[in-house]
Amino acid sequence: MATTTLTGFSMMSVLSLGYLTWDLMSPNQVDNEPDQTFHGRFPVPQPPHIIFIMTDDQGFNDIGYHSSDIRTPVLDKLAADGVKLENYYVQPICTPSRSQFITGYQIHTGLQHSIIRPRQPNCLPFDQVTLPQRLQQLGYSTHMVGKWHLGFYKKGCLPTRRGFDTYFGSLTGSVDYYTYNSCDGPGLCGFDLHEGESVAWDQKGKYSTHLYTKRVRKILATHDPRSEPLFIFLSFQAVHSPLQSPQEYIYPYRGLENVARRKYAAMVSTVDEAVRNITYALRKYGYYQNSVLIFSTDNGGQPLSGGNNWPLRGRKGTYWEGGIRGLGFVHSPLLQKKRRVSKALVHITDWYPTLVGLAGGDESLTEGLDGYNVWKAISEGKESPRLEILHNIDPLYNHARRGSLQKGFGIWNTAVQASIRAGDWKLLTGEPGYGDWIPPQILPGFPNSWWSLERHIKPRKSVWLFNISGDPFERFDMSEQRPDVVKQLLARLVYYNRTAVPVRFPSEDPWAHPQLNGGAWGPWVGDEEEDSWDRVYLKKNKDWKKKLKQSKNWSFFRRLNSRMMSNRI
């Protein structure tokens, strides 16, 4: 057994944030050697324990090491001692990033458009073999804690049916941090906290970031690290709206004039503390020396809710860099080259083959995936095998008025929303979303209608080209100077589009209403019932006409909520 020296932060550094935590490693804590099993006379290292932590809506400028006004000493230290990923991409909104993390490109799952709404009979396709399912095959104990947002209309959609041995968290996209009430429009609210496949009514009133952290620590405390490797996917609700935090975390940011930014900063601090306590548990219970901790955001920040992506362009819900350039780092004793910044091109789909490779799986388990095994690029500093990223092709999004097949050289309709990165170049077509550069907010606040005035100014073009390596802030459009590059990238979009499956975006089902399901969100369609993606589900029941009438009364609120969600995204 090897005893390592004390690492981490002084007590004063964390006290200045307004919360009390322990050091990254207790002075009396003895670190463990990497776990080993024995075959004959020779020890065989056990595959590493994998902890994947995802935050929700944390912007590029919402972490300390990007010179933010938000203090994150734990995340900064872990990133500094590991490998910072500064050429790392995610998707612009929640569902796509989570689906691509455990499967592949949206165009290959039918989830190209928007998010999965609570009342949609939709989820991650059943023919997809997920990352946790592969890890189960390789002998891992798999656990998920936090936000799912990949559909739940059937029990077969639930995390426990898609590769996780245990699940504790919320199924929808946004809940109250204390009450776990989730609304999909006025009067369309229900409880959303689940233990496995049951509703966890008894956990109401506990702050979700603390509750999820406590559950992860419990998993670490009760599992034997030498018995089998562990995979934990911690999908924080934070720092997604609503902006809620215990008061003691807000006080250190009392100097921030902008109220939303102040509350948002406090929520980031709760995440920082949570990661601190999880790291402590990894050491305490003997996982750390044979562990890989990955930190990732799911999309860019939302300035309307306190987030910030400065100096990048755009925000959550857009294909500008501010919507898709993610925060990310890897911290592990197993890294061969630590304490560095990696500019290797990495996409969220790369974690699937990378983690399967770390788990000891051969390449046959990852054939046909959209991701690449980037472990050598991260750990050893080698070239990334990834040369391009399809950010997305969304044929249902509002078509750009000025787009046409003619402007796409006769091979691509530039009215269609799409984006691709190849080498240094990035191409956008259609309507990429709100494209301003938004500095950190310092004013107390201003009417939300001001955002709408700017947002609804339609661009007078439908094609943009940027050299992202030389112009990461997307200030110099090169589409007119380099039509040759535009045409090449349009041809790549055509190639990818030929592999796309039809979009799955069914109508909302009135039978999903929580009041028809005991007051909680949960599955409402039997697993034996046949799927239909182009109509509202109507169960064969004598009350169905009454429920349909109710659903028509809700139609106004559905339309209103769609506009609200559009502005929110």
Q: Give catalytic residues, as residue numbers.
A: 94, 149
How far apart are the C-alpha atoms of 257 and 374, rounded to whole Å? 42
Task: Give residue for tokens 């994150």.
Answer: 72
| CB-based contact 24:333 (threshold 8 Å) | no
Q: How many CB atoms lie within 10 A of CB 246?
A: 18
How far apart are the C-alpha atoms of 513 and 516, rounded to whole Å? 6
Report DSSP letters for 408-443, one per residue: GTTTS-TTSEEEEEETTEEEEES------B-PPP-S
Task: Give residue for tokens 């059937």.
Answer: 154
Alpha helices by DSSP H, 88-185:
94-102, 131-137
- Tokens for 263, please give them: 């509350």
Tell me the backbone φ, ψ of residue 30, rounded to 5 degrees: -100, 125
CA distances for 523 relative to 158, 262, 302, 365, 487, angstroms:
8, 37, 30, 30, 46
Under DSSP, is residue 346 helix (H, G, I), strand (E, B) or coil?
strand
- Tokens for 504, please give them: 């799955």
Direct distance between the N- and C-terminal alpha carbons of the chain, in angstroms, rounded to an integer:
51
Closest CA to 57 of 258, 262, 254, 322: 322
Closest CA to 84 of 346, 373, 353, 387: 346
Under DSSP, is residue 102 helix (H, G, I), strand (E, B) or coil?
helix
Closest CA to 88 of 352, 313, 344, 425: 344
| CB-based contact 306:260 (threshold 8 Å) | yes
Under DSSP, is residue 448 helix (H, G, I), strand (E, B) or coil?
coil
| Distant-in-sequence, close-in-space partners of 215: CB < 8 Å, separation ≥ 6 | 145, 168
How far apart are the C-alpha atoms of 124 and 108, rounded to whole Å? 11
